[in-house]
Structure formats: C-alpha cells, structure tokens
Chain A
Amino acid sequence: MSDEQLVLHEITSALEELGKRTVPVTMETSLLHDLSLDSVTALDFIMQLETRLDIIIPMDGMAEIETIGDLVGVLTRSTSKAG
C-alpha cells in the first residue's frame, strides 16, 4: 500500500470508531459539511489520527484542512517525515 492509501485506511477506520463514517469517504468529502465534524470534533479527530499513526501535526497545518484529501496530504507529509 502506498502511504496515501495507508493513511486513507486509517482515516476511515478512525471515523468508523467514532461512528462518523456516515457517508462514503472520498478525497473530496468535507469534514464539516459531509461528516459534520465541527472545529472542535475535527481537532479531536486529528488528535486520534496522530496517536494511530504515531505522528505530530503542528497546529498551523490544521487550518487548511477542509476535505479528507487535505487531511491525507497533511498526514502523509508528517508520516514520511516521521519515518
């Protein structure tokens, strides 16, 4: 699996765990509009992913995250840095 696929897989299972995988998840899925993750839940969701992938996402990178694709991008960059 590529880094991206791996990260997307982690995202979907984390969403499942939260009971938030309410719609099919694609790169275009919006965290706020499609998954109803408001700013607070989105931050907590990202925190959960940080633990799963054993990485750190600095807060200044979070503001740009709107879609699953953005999230995959940020996470992939952090994973390759960590590895």
Chain B
Amino acid sequence: MLARFRALRSDLAMVTTVGRDPFGVAFDAILSATEAILDGKRVLLLGTNNYLGLTFDQDCIDSAVAATMAQGTGTTGSRIANGTYGGHAALEQRLARFLGRRHAMVFTTGYQANLGTLSALAGRGDHLLLDADSHASIYDGAKLGNAQVTRFRHNDPDDLRRRLRLLADQPGEKLIVLEGIYSMLGDTAPLREMVEVKREAGAWLLVDEAHSLGVLGAHGRGLAEAEGVEADVDFVVGTFSKSLGAIGGFCAFDLDDFDSLRVAARAYMFTASLPPSIVASVFQAIEAMEAQPQLRDTLRRNGQHLHAGLAAAGFALGAMPSPIVSLPMPDRETAIRFWNQLLDAGVYTNLALGPATPGGKPLLRMSVSAALTPAQIETAIAALAQTGQRLGLVAAGLAAVES
C-alpha cells in the first residue's frame, strides 16, 4: 500500500542526512508571535505567515476564551447537518462588511475554501484558467470539480489572453483564478492587466488573497483594493490562518443566489464548522486589523528592512519587497544546509522544495511579521549574511559590511 511512497521516503532521507527533518520541526514552546523554544534553545521565527502578529493579541485571546466558556469547545458537526451557531453568521456579516461585499461564506480552512469554491463554481462544460504557480489548494479544487482546467504562464496576461481566445467559441463559463501575493516568492499578480483580459473575454475572476488580506490595500482588503479593481473581482477567497492569526477560510462576493453554494460546495457541507473560540478570535482580529492600520505600515517597513538588508549583504532576491522574502538556492543540498545552519544560529525559516515551488527550484522562504522589532530583523540579517558567506552564496566582503 505504501510502496509508492518509497521515492518520497528516499527523498526525505536525503533531506534529513544533513541535519534535522525540516518537515518535522517540533517546537518545545511558543513564546510570542516572533519567538519559540526549539531543542531547548530560543529561536527567532522568520517563517510564520503571522503577518500582523495577532496570535497573541490579548483581545483575540479573551474573545476566544469567553466564547469557549459560553458555547463550548466545538460544534461537533457541519452547518448543513448540525446547524449554524450565532457566531458563524455574525462572522460572515462582519467579514462581508470589512470586504465591502454583499455576502461571505466561511469555511473551516483556507484550503477547503478553495476546494469548495472552485469545485462548485465551475461545473461540467465550464473552464478554469489557473496561474501556473497556483497554490496546491487551487489545483486540488480544480481537480475535485468537473470543469476543464488549463494553466497559463505565471503572471502572464498575454498567455491568459491567448488561451481565452482559443476557448472563445467553446460554450461554458470561464473562471480565471489568481493570487494576490504568491506564497513562495512573494510576488503579486499584475491585477490591472489581468482585469483587462478578463473584461475582453467576458470571463469571471477569483482572487485568492490568502497572503494579501490585512497586508495590501489602504484598508487591508488585499491586492484588489491596492490596485483599485475590486469591482472587477467577482470572488474573493482568503484565509484566517495568516494575518488573522487563527484558522479558517472564506469566499466573499456580490452575487445574490450565493446560498446555493452552501449546498453545492462539498468542502463546506461534509466537514465540521469552525469552533466558537476560533470564530470569536477571528471576529476580534478583523476588528484589530481595522482599528490598527499602523500594523500594516510596520509590516511593510519590516519587509523592506529585511529585503534591503539581504540585498546589501549580496543576496540575489527574486521579487520586490513584500512580507515574503525568498532566497533562491542553487540546489537542494545547499538549501538544506542553509536552513539547518540558520537554525543553529537561532533563526527559523521555511525550506521550500519542488514541486511546491515555482519551476521546482529550492528556496529559503521567509515571512516577516509586524511584531518583529528592527533589532530582531538586524539579528536575522546578520545570521543570514554569515551563513550565506560560509556557504559561498554571497561574497565575503559584501557580507562583512552587514555583520
């Protein structure tokens, strides 16, 4: 039964020969949004997606505790079979209000939001057009449904246009799927150009703002807000597990017969709904995100700080400054070594290997949080520069300037 995992297992064995198992890191304790204890040592967390640092927000914690006391630990079932709690509906309304949409539907994870939405929205005879660098949840959602799926070149409006032209005389709806910020490199979609293509073709547009909610736009509504094209985005998908510091996912839109999705999206129907504690903490986190726009400014500054520091240390960086900063690695071995040595130096990052990465190339992925202090970022830059120098990834002279 498990024989076909043999190749995976030998891959994993290769990954772990150099040190720890990067996919089996187990923290002894989490101290804050930016620090943890690993193997008895304090480590700086530079790979959390905890963009606004809200996981330890006192109001969010208090709301979660109060909801647990009042309503118990779980809902023990799906909303279709076991009922909606008051908090679910209130959260959906609150989220819709925040996003300026008529409706929102809450899922148990962001993964399931894509799974449920994509498979239900695009049916047999319809067409899904996915960016080649789409997150696994988008690919899986497409696979679960019955629509015909094509992938277009990453962030390439012309390739999308070409494909829509070839599909022009085929019946069925066309749904384009993009991400606000792409999770591996931190690059954003050229949304205004994509919207033009969408309009020309009369297609629908879904944007997954998983990494851009609370991060981009004057109010934190994401890339569509930042680019001024919210009216052209038909469906917004997102997650509560990153900037909002909890777990859960959503899809928001203005179409009126949206309630039909509740009985069509399998990933909504056949799984238990979010527990009261999470619903309450996410509700509170939306309040915090709205009330504290300065968190977004701090996050942006932190991203720029890390990006500029690493560039000055001589690293080649992929994308423009964003909360996600990724270093392309020459090969798997170097990537694994780099990740291990950084951890020895007290800095936790994410090791990202193919096929989950663009082009299957290994990456050292980092994400900053608004909760990081400038001193913590300096510490991280110094550790990265020294490690990069030791592994021959940056010239020693350049690295010396920073450390």
Q: A interface vs B, CB < 8 Å?
A: 38-41, 43-44, 47, 51, 54-60, 82
Is A44 within 8 A of B359, CB to CB?
yes
Bound CA–CA A54/B159 (angstroms) = 10
| Closest chain B CB from A75 CB (angstroms) | 14
Return chain B residues, CB-CB under 8 Å to A58. 148-150
Partner of A41 from the list B162, B163, B360 (CB cut-off 8 Å) is B360
| Closest chain B CB from A78 CB (angstroms) | 9
| Interchain residue pairs with CB less than 8 A apart (15) | A38-B360, A39-B355, A40-B355, A41-B359, A43-B151, A44-B132, A44-B359, A47-B132, A47-B151, A51-B162, A56-B150, A58-B149, A59-B142, A59-B149, A82-B166
Is A56 within 8 A of B163, CB to CB?
yes
Is B132 within 8 A of A43, CB to CB?
yes
Number of interface residues of B (CB under 8 A): 16
| Closest chain A CB from B282 CB (angstroms) | 33
Partner of A54 from the list B148, B162, B354, B360 (CB cut-off 8 Å) is B162
Return chain A residues, CB-CB under 8 Å to B148. 58, 60
Bound CA–CA A53/B167 (angstroms) = 15
Who on chain A is nearest to B164 by CB?
A: A56
Partner of A51 from the list B150, B151, B159, B359 (CB cut-off 8 Å) is B159
B192 within 8 A of A: no
B390 within 8 A of A: no
Q: Which 7 A-B pairs have the closest CB atoms?
A: A40-B360, A59-B149, A40-B355, A58-B148, A56-B166, A56-B150, A40-B354
Return chain A residues, CB-CB under 8 Å to B149. 58-60
Partner of A40 from the list B153, B159, B167, B359 (CB cut-off 8 Å) is B359
| Closest chain B CB from A29 CB (angstroms) | 21
Bound CA–CA A57/B150 (angstroms) = 7
Q: B interface vs A, CB < 8 Å?
A: 132, 142, 148-151, 153, 159, 162-163, 166-167, 354-355, 359-360
Partner of B150 from the list A41, A59, A82 (CB cut-off 8 Å) is A59
Return chain B residues, CB-CB under 8 Å to A38. 354-355, 360
Bound CA–CA A58/B152 (angstroms) = 11
| Closest chain A CB from B187 CB (angstroms) | 17
Who on chain B is nearest to A58 by CB?
A: B148
Return chain B residues, CB-CB under 8 Å to A56. 150, 163, 166-167
Who on chain B is nearest to A59 by CB?
A: B149
Return chain B residues, CB-CB under 8 Å to A43. 132, 151
Return chain A residues, CB-CB under 8 Å to B132. 43-44, 47
| Closest chain B CB from A28 CB (angstroms) | 23
Return chain B residues, CB-CB under 8 Å to A57. 150
Return chain A residues, CB-CB under 8 Å to B355. 38-40
Bound CA–CA A60/B142 (angstroms) = 10
Bound CA–CA A51/B314 (angstroms) = 36
Who on chain B is nearest to A39 by CB?
A: B355
Bound CA–CA A55/B360 (angstroms) = 24
Bound CA–CA A57/B162 (angstroms) = 13
Return chain B residues, CB-CB under 8 Å to A60. 148-149
Who on chain B is nearest to A55 by CB?
A: B166
Return chain A residues, CB-CB under 8 Å to B142. 59
| Closest chain B CB from A65 CB (angstroms) | 14
Which of A47, A54, A82 counts the most B-chain CB atoms under 10 A from its CB? Answer: A47
Return chain A residues, CB-CB under 8 Å to B166. 54-56, 82
Return chain B residues, CB-CB under 8 Å to A41. 359-360
| Closest chain B CB from A35 CB (angstroms) | 15
Is B360 within 8 A of A59, CB to CB?
no
Is A59 within 8 A of B162, CB to CB?
no
Return chain A residues, CB-CB under 8 Å to B360. 38-41
Who on chain B is nearest to A38 by CB?
A: B360
Is B153 within 8 A of A47, CB to CB?
yes
Return chain A residues, CB-CB under 8 Å to B354. 38, 40
| Closest chain A CB from B353 CB (angstroms) | 11
Return chain A residues, CB-CB under 8 Å to B359. 40-41, 44
Q: Add 6 more A-B contacts to A38-B354, A41-B359 (CB < 8 A).
A: A40-B354, A40-B359, A54-B162, A56-B163, A58-B148, A59-B150
Bound CA–CA A39/B356 (angstroms) = 11
Who on chain B is nearest to A57 by CB?
A: B150
| Closest chain A CB from B219 CB (angstroms) | 36
| Closest chain B CB from A46 CB (angstroms) | 9
